[in-house]
Structure 1
């Protein structure tokens, strides 16, 4: 007999939905790796199946009848589509160069780019506490990326992957800022427009013949990227966020990178080093500090209490 989720406390359905979506997103790197295609082709098919899935969901929920557009809204949505599709291409390119765990963890410095871009574009005041957390996050970034003198001098492929990840995180920060300006546009519609931009634009950029050279075993992974990691995951997140408080979302968002780290270890045997683990901890701490408005001293106190419990 199915469980009646509607009878659970108001926040419980959102908690389950957001957590489930985050776990799904943490498996995305495996689908990208197993598909074994170039990033542009992989993103194209993600957009195709993601657009179809989200369109079916919106038709089921009746969202096509209720949305109204202005020129400004449509223009910003199309710009967000260019940024999002480019972000996916760079991130998928990073996955094949540095691995799932490192790429996903490094990508999660994205909230700090949002703060810095907001300060540069809108002249928003950053403040001492946020500046300290940003510095903490980028120290964590250097540790999590595993960048040392030997890497800087020898491993160009790895450094390119880290660079791709940082570009992807900056592009996603731009998407985030645009989404905030599009409060009147339902996020499901925004996802459909972003996917539509990819469907229209990427065939012109794909390597010659790549879109038609897909083997039978690759189709399942591509469908999964569109259906599971775009349509279903995004629908779950969009439905969950209004039911959750900011502190809860701040904590739950790390299920995604932690799942990616676990999956990379279980499937491909790639484990983070202790220094990389410290970097992850610093990024998590800094992100919580920014989202929850902690002072740096409070964050250090929380970290010390965690170590004491261990």
Structure 2
């Protein structure tokens, strides 16, 4: 195994895990934050793409470009919903629900791709649902208003968009990771520009701007570079394992820095969710084959 590549990927995942902490300290709403993130990522990665010479060998395909644009829509919505969820509930709970995406891929694959879902896959799905109820709180499921105010819906929508990004990007083979990201973040700029309220940037502190730029340049540009530079030199199993550094760091930051203390039921719910996801990843129960490198590229959070 390439130890250097493994270290790079571990660093990338650890930085990914701090996205929630950065988000809640930016001082701006989700739409405007994702807009800035798309601008930073587009500039950073297009410059890197150009100077590495990747643009000269790019294999453009009309169908794949259009498919990547669709992926970009799902990716941007994924980010917006995730950041909205961070503003409503704790990072640990949000990340736990967000990482339901592999389970949602199984469900969507069964519905739209006619994939066969076995009893074990159904059981894992049910366990994840029970875990979600436990970490959000049974009381919040008793009315629509309490459920909406909890942030659960935003986190679930984010996970669904994450899963849709996985499914729509799984057949893209010719475009490089850099060109895919460039197209997706450019789509984000076009999508969000009419929706942005630029008055939210008035009165921001230096600290706010540092967190905003950190979210765009570090969490998107720099981390993408580390990620793309490492996954091509690592076996699939290693990539699958190291992607779990992301939620672990997120939950640790929430507990140690933001003083979030999960209840016993919430802790049990988190264990149920990640236990089921690990089971799905390492013991596939359907014919769906998802490339972990594409999954994490699509979730860049």
User: Could you state the TM-score of these two structures normalised by the residue count of structure 2?
Assistant: 0.87
1:248 is aligned to 238
- Structure number, greater radius of gyration: 1
Secondary structure at the counterpart of residue 270 of structure 1: coil
Give the count of matched residue pairs.
Answer: 285
Separation in structure 2 between the aligned mates of residue 150 and residue 90 of structure 1, nearest angstrom: 19
- Alignment partners' CA distance in 2, 1:37 and 1:152: 31
Please say if 1:227 is aligned against 2:217.
yes
Q: Per-residue displacement from partner, 1:7-63 (whole Å, max 9, x unpaired)?
A: xxx331232122111110111112111111011111110111111111122123221
- SS state at 1:98 partner: coil
**Larger fraction in helix:** 1
Aligned to 2:52: 61
Q: Whole-Å Cα distance in 1 between the matches of residues 237 and 110 of structure 2?
A: 23
In 2, the alpha carbon distance for the partners of 1:222 and 1:199 equals 16
Aligned-pair Cα RMSD in Å: 2.1
Q: Does 1:236 align with 2:238?
A: no
Partners in 1 of 2:21 and 2:225 — Cα distance?
A: 21
Equivalents in 1 of 2:171, 2:284: separation in Å? 26
- What 5-or-longer segments of structure 1 have no aligned partner? 1-9, 296-310
Partner of 1:268: helix, strand, or coil? coil
- Residue 39 (structure 2) pairs with residue 48 (structure 1): yes
Moved more, 286-295 or 98-107: 286-295
Matched, 1:290 2:287: no
Aligned equivalents of 1:177 and 1:266: distance in 2?
35
Per-residue Cα deviation, 1:226-263 (whole angstroms, up to 9, x for no partner): 11111122222223223333333332222111111111
Matches within 5 A, 1:1-310: 10-145=1-136, 147-149=137-139, 152-153=142-143, 156=146, 159-207=149-197, 209-210=199-200, 214-293=204-283
* Distance in 2 (alpha carbons) for counterparts of 1:201 and 1:255: 31
Distance 1:215 1:198, change over 3 A: farther
1:275 match: secondary structure: helix
Question: 1:289 Cα deviation (Å)?
Answer: 1.1
Distance in 2 between residues matched to 1:223 and 1:240, nearest whole Å: 24
When structure 1 is superposed on structure 2, of 199-208 and 73-82 the one drifting more is: 199-208
Retained in 1: the 8 A contact 2:28–2:201?
no
Rate the CA distance shift 1:104–1:11 in 2: closer, same or farther, 3 A: same
Q: Does the CA contact (< 8 Å) of 1:22 and 1:256 recur in 2? A: yes
1:287 Cα shift? 1.4
Distance in 2 separating the partners of 1:85 and 1:154 = 26
